[in-house]
Chain A
């Protein structure tokens, strides 16, 4: 079952807070008109990316989604480079020309956020095939949403991953809505894990707001993949606090529903567990929270001080 040491647990707490502060700052600066393009915030879903990526090593790979900030941060993405990219600045991951949905860092296994719903599946199959071919024991993780689960690309990826017994873990973040469409209105079977059986792979449902439940499931699925036993599907039931995108009026869901999920906030829930089980004192957790808040504030300053790309940068790094 769970072998947890304090360092791992506090790192998870740090990561969850890093995502929370990061996304809160993005929300604020987007509202102030200082961030171009679209942003899709991960607020409320922090436990999923954190729990999964805590089970990965640096050379393992992830494919992400349009709601990708949390995945990239949890996999070790650089705060400054991410914030600068989202601000559209030259010092960002893509020199300010990609924005929120194109953040990638191949050196640490982030194969990219992705503006195409369901676009991550085939990429993750390719990544996992490369691990299998090289025999390096690395694994790939495919994050995808409930909407993406209906895309042919995702189903084809599930099939091929299982047919070839690839070292791949599919992590479904089921937040109940595909943009504005409630899952129950468009899906005959609302437990996405049920679909795993059709592809002869294990499918499990976990509480996506419980970082330890996610972590434990991810650990086991990753170990299974490393041992050559093939892919697994982990469905994490969770909820996004904000709209599909910033500016979404969210008329398709109720305040009561949002309040119910906010009461399940994964961060104070985890903090209570850590203090209750005497893993850490509240003072230690407060120190981590303050440290992360300062790091995110510094990332904003880094981004603000970075120049915008100029005209001569326009055609650089363009391959087609």
Chain B
């Protein structure tokens, strides 16, 4: 009954605070959230937590102000060399899987959750929002999130009673899976990664979405004005933004930032079906420019045959209620 904990000290601080109206998500709030997660895990009977060490010492700071009887008995850092990059999260998730964690709780935005899933596509993930555009991570009180993860990790509730399989996108370069995205892939007419974020739709020629809905934020909000693809629907959406526009969509692609996007055509993506990336440039994965494509590269995107297991907090706690895990009849 080990639970993994990854809290990204860099989430919620990128350029979208200047180019849009993103909030600064300060690390002390992440510290407070970790405290609440740990109390939830303790309540669920979790005995061991393994966590990613980080430059801000988020978990260590959380422990300074959390009595021993309010947290799991064993809370230990993963041991590896930190580079203070996204790869730290990837490595942490790998190590959590190797160590036998049952669930990983991830604090960050879409980018952080993606990095964790790059490290482990097998561990169920509970992603809590501390980022900018948060489509994959949920805004849920950390206390009950910890409780939900703990119930599943401790075996009090079978994993399949609290999880669903979320569709994800795989990016293939020259025939091999190079990367993945949890929500969206954008083809950007850019030469460089730069500050990573995406906010200028004139620079985007195509979008691939693993999920989309009308009340979304970020690039998937564009597709969300056309169709609704639930996270576990087994379908996604491909949008061509390069040809002559057949319709215009207005959507919020960042906090406080509405843009218009001209859509030439759209196609429903089915699992395993590949869609070619028509030009070189930079692929933005879950809202962050990340993967550079060279002229000689051939690339495509597909909805993966197998997604990732996501802890559904309401579903878990509702199942716990029906099994009266936290309610006892008196007398």
Interface residues of A (CB under 8 A from B): 1-2, 4, 184, 189-191, 193-194, 196-197, 202-206, 210, 212-213, 215-217, 220-221, 224, 232, 237, 260, 273, 276-279
How far apart sit A260 and B83, CA to CA, in the bound complex (Å)?
8
- How far does the Cβ of B34 sit from chain A's closest Cβ, in whole Å? 16
Residues of A within 8 A of B55 (CB): 190
Chain B residues touching A, majority SS: loop
Interface residues of B (CB under 8 A from A): 9-10, 13-15, 17-19, 22-24, 26-28, 55-57, 83-84, 188, 190-200, 203, 289, 292, 294-295
- A197 and B24 contacting across the interface, CB-CB below 8 Å: yes
Residues of A within 8 A of B18 (CB): 202, 204, 217, 220-221, 224, 232
Taking A204-B17, A205-B14, A220-B15 as contacts, is the C-beta distance between A193 and B191 under 8 angstroms?
Answer: no
- How far does the Cβ of A301 sit from chain B's closest Cβ, in whole Å? 37
- A204 and B27 contacting across the interface, CB-CB below 8 Å: no
Taking A203-B17, A204-B14, A206-B15 as contacts, is the C-beta distance between A279 and B26 under 8 angstroms?
Answer: no
- A1 and B193 contacting across the interface, CB-CB below 8 Å: no
- A1 and B191 contacting across the interface, CB-CB below 8 Å: no
Closest B residue to A193 using CB positions = B13
Residues of A within 8 A of B10 (CB): 205
How far apart sit A193 and B9, CA to CA, in the bound complex (Å)?
12
Residues of A within 8 A of B26 (CB): 189, 191, 194, 197
How far apart sit A210 and B196, CA to CA, in the bound complex (Å)?
11
- B13 and A1 contacting across the interface, CB-CB below 8 Å: no
17 residue pairs from A and B, CB less than 8 Å apart: A1-B197, A1-B203, A1-B289, A190-B56, A193-B13, A193-B24, A194-B24, A194-B26, A202-B17, A204-B13, A205-B13, A206-B14, A213-B194, A216-B195, A232-B18, A237-B84, A277-B192
- B24 and A189 contacting across the interface, CB-CB below 8 Å: no
Of the listed residues B22, B194, B199, B294, the one surrounded by the most CB atoms of chain A closer than 10 A to its CB is B194
- B28 and A2 contacting across the interface, CB-CB below 8 Å: no
How far apart sit A279 and B193, CA to CA, in the bound complex (Å)?
14
- How far does the Cβ of B162 sit from chain A's closest Cβ, in whole Å? 34
- How far does the Cβ of B23 sit from chain A's closest Cβ, in whole Å? 8
Of the listed residues A1, A206, A273, A279, the one surrounded by the most CB atoms of chain B closer than 10 A to its CB is A1
- B195 and A203 contacting across the interface, CB-CB below 8 Å: no
- B191 and A213 contacting across the interface, CB-CB below 8 Å: no
- How far does the Cβ of A207 sit from chain B's closest Cβ, in whole Å? 8
Residues of A within 8 A of B195 (CB): 206, 212-213, 216-217
- A276 and B28 contacting across the interface, CB-CB below 8 Å: no
Residues of B within 8 A of A224 (CB): 18
- How far does the Cβ of A319 sit from chain B's closest Cβ, in whole Å? 39
- How far does the Cβ of B15 sit from chain A's closest Cβ, in whole Å? 5
How far apart sit A203 and B27, CA to CA, in the bound complex (Å)?
13
Residues of B within 8 A of A197 (CB): 23-24, 26
Residues of A within 8 A of B200 (CB): 1
- B199 and A1 contacting across the interface, CB-CB below 8 Å: yes
Residues of A within 8 A of B15 (CB): 204, 206, 216-217, 220
Which of B27, B83, B194, B295 is in CB contact (< 8 Å) with A212? Answer: B194
The 9 residue pairs across chains A and B that have the minimum distance between CB atoms: A202-B17, A216-B195, A205-B13, A194-B26, A216-B194, A197-B24, A212-B194, A277-B191, A213-B195
- A1 and B17 contacting across the interface, CB-CB below 8 Å: no
How far apart sit A196 and B117, CA to CA, in the bound complex (Å)?
32
